[in-house]
Structure 1
């Protein structure tokens, strides 16, 4: 039995990055031997075991053969006869196909170290094109490692394009897609994840609503970058720069999809694009079974982001309606994330990345003012049920009117 450290742990150590988790491959052993040594089996598709003490994953060396469509369309074979080289060749990228023994010696049969130095994301073998999930994985790796100078090798991009054109992406489950998309959006360059998918044709298959934004013009007065797709990428870039959470990034990715439905005769104006976008966002959320909190924020942001941009002009009644739409008094975090998404939208514009966005502080202060309405004095007046609710709403509206008036009287 020989045990090797493999994959991301080796890759990131060679790049000088922190290693968060370690995967191991075991050569020359059977499942029975692993069990006899106290390893706990996990996974039904192929033999993976948890170390009895560290809990780290140890997988028996295996080969795989394409047997169907999609991510799960493979037959795996694990036995003591499978070599380390046979196990490594089934991996996606050369930089993920480097192994390290217990003496620190590297086993690198497919040029992973060379590609680390060249800063290239390159496939290990033509079998790359058998797994459609790898399209998303490579795009995600680009989003992670582009700040280090990495790019996708042209021949790998060609295989990604081949996969996108084959229709196999449709065989991926909603859960697998969302896992890759959500992880990629949290990388340092989520915009490059979307760009890479577009470059190989996968964005049209996975998120046609977003793909349709490229080439759609907007008024240069508000959007010096003009192209709606480019603006979406710029908003994502701002999300990463300002370290926004996943919900904000998902909302920014989808907030303008309604502009893809604007008739060309109306370009570069997009009247009512917010309402047109709601239907599309609902469809996308359902397609990938997006967790409810992210789905709701994306829907509300799509519908109401122009309200945020016009916050300083809104009447007190409209301000209160906006706060109520977000259930702000019970879920203040969701409203804060909405405001953050709108600020990223405003900053995701060419040359306007550092422009002040006073709407953010204004809306958060307005919400704080409305939240300060005390319920106890109203209860002491004997108010209950609908009467109590109406009284609370009146108090909140009065506070917002006073807040709005004070703000208007402040010098610029």
Structure 2
């Protein structure tokens, strides 16, 4: 029995990055031997075990063969005869197909170390094209390591293109897709993930609503970058630069989908794109079964982001309606995420990345004013039920009018 550290732990050590998760491969062992040593089996698909003390995953060396569609369409074979090289060749990228023994002696049959040095994301073997999930994984690695100068090898991008055209991507489950998408959006440069998906034709399969934004112009006075797709990438980039959470990044990606529906004869204006985009945002949310908080914020940002930009001009009554829509009294965090998503949208424009956004503090102040209206005096006046709700609304409106006047003076 020989045990090797494999995959990301080896890759990240060689890159000088912190190693978090460690995966191990066991060569020359049987399931019975692993159990006898106290390892606990995990799952039924293939022989993976948890270490009795560390809890880390140890997998028997195995080969795999394509047997059906999609990510799960594989037959696995694990036996003591499977070599380390045979196990490594089934992996996605050369930089993930290296192994180390306990003395850090490197096994690198597919030249992963060379590709690390050359900053290349390259597939290990033609079997790469058998697993559609790898399209998303490679795009995610491109986003993670873009800051180090990594690029997808042209021949790997071509295989990704073939996969995108094969219909295999449609076989991915919503859960598997969302796991990759959500992880990619939280990388250092999530816009690279979207760009790579577009470069290989996967974006128009997975998110045609986002793909449709590219080539659609916007008024240059507001959008020096002009192209709606480029703007979306820039907004996503800003959300990462400002360390925003997944909810905000997802909303930033989907906020302008309505612009893809504007007839060409109306370009570059996009009248009512906020309302038109809601059905598209809903469709993308449902396609990937995004978490509820991501779904809700994406829809609210899509509908109200131009309200955010025009916050200083809004009538007090419109401002109150905006605050009510977000339920700022019980869900203050959601309104804060809306504000920062609007700010990312304002900054995601060529040459305007450092612009100030006074609307943010104005909206925060308005929310504080509305929340500051006390209910108790109204109860003491005898208001209850629907009448109490109306009286509270009147008091909040009065407070917001005063706030608006003081802010403009």
State the SS of the aligned residue for 1:322: helix
Deviation at 1:374? 1.6
State the SS of the aligned residue for 1:82: coil
Deviation at 1:15? 0.4
Deviations 1:204-243 (A, max 9, x none): 0000000000000000000000000000000011011111
Deviation at 1:36? 1.0
State the match for 1:242 in structure 2: 242
Deviation at 1:376? 2.3
Deviation at 1:341? 0.6
State the distance in 1 between where 2:319 and 2:210 align.
30
Deviation at 1:386? 1.5
State the distance in 1 between where 2:387 and 2:36 align.
70
State the match for 2:160 in structure 1: 160
Deviations 1:373-396 (A, max 9, x none): 122232233332222222221221
State the match for 1:112 in structure 2: 112
Q: How many residues align structurally?
A: 409
Equivalences for residues 94-243 of structure 1 within 5 A = 94-243=94-243
Kindly report the root-mean-square deviation, in angstroms, between the aligned alpha carbons of the 2 structures.
0.7
**Any unmatched runs of 5+ in structure 1?**
none
State the SS of the aligned residue for 1:247: helix
Equivalences for residues 15-26 of structure 1 within 5 A = 15-26=15-26
State the SS of the aligned residue for 1:323: helix
State the match for 1:387 in structure 2: 387
State the distance in 2 between where 1:16 and 1:396 align.
55
State the distance in 2 between where 1:220 and 1:269 align.
10
State the distance in 1 between where 2:113 and 2:43 align.
30
Deviation at 1:273? 0.6
State the SS of the aligned residue for 1:109: coil
State the match for 1:86 in structure 2: 86
Deviation at 1:398? 1.3
State the match for 2:53 in structure 1: 53
State the distance in 2 between where 1:388 and 1:61 align.
68
Equivalences for residues 266-281 of structure 1 within 5 A = 266-281=266-281
Deviations 1:230-262 (A, max 9, x none): 000000110111111111110010111110010
Deviations 1:61-116 (A, max 9, x none): 00000001100000000111111000000000000001000111011110000000
Deviations 1:157-211 (A, max 9, x none): 0110010011100000000111111100000110000000000000000000000
State the SS of the aligned residue for 1:58: strand
State the distance in 2 between where 1:144 and 1:333 align.
28
TM-score (normalizing by structure 1): 0.98
State the match for 1:321 in structure 2: 321
State yes or no: 1:357 paired with 2:357.
Answer: yes
State the SS of the aligned residue for 1:403: helix
Equivalences for residues 243-392 of structure 1 within 5 A = 243-392=243-392
Deviation at 1:22? 0.5
State the distance in 2 between where 1:302 and 1:44 align.
42
State the distance in 1 between where 2:396 and 2:119 align.
57
TM-score (normalizing by structure 2): 0.99
State the distance in 2 between where 1:398 and 1:35 align.
71
State the SS of the aligned residue for 2:26: strand
**Any unmatched runs of 5+ in structure 2?**
none
State the distance in 2 between where 1:76 and 1:280 align.
39
Deviation at 1:343? 0.6
Larger CA deviation: 390-399 vs 29-38 = 390-399
Deviations 1:276-333 (A, max 9, x none): 1001011111111111110010011111111111000001110010001011110011
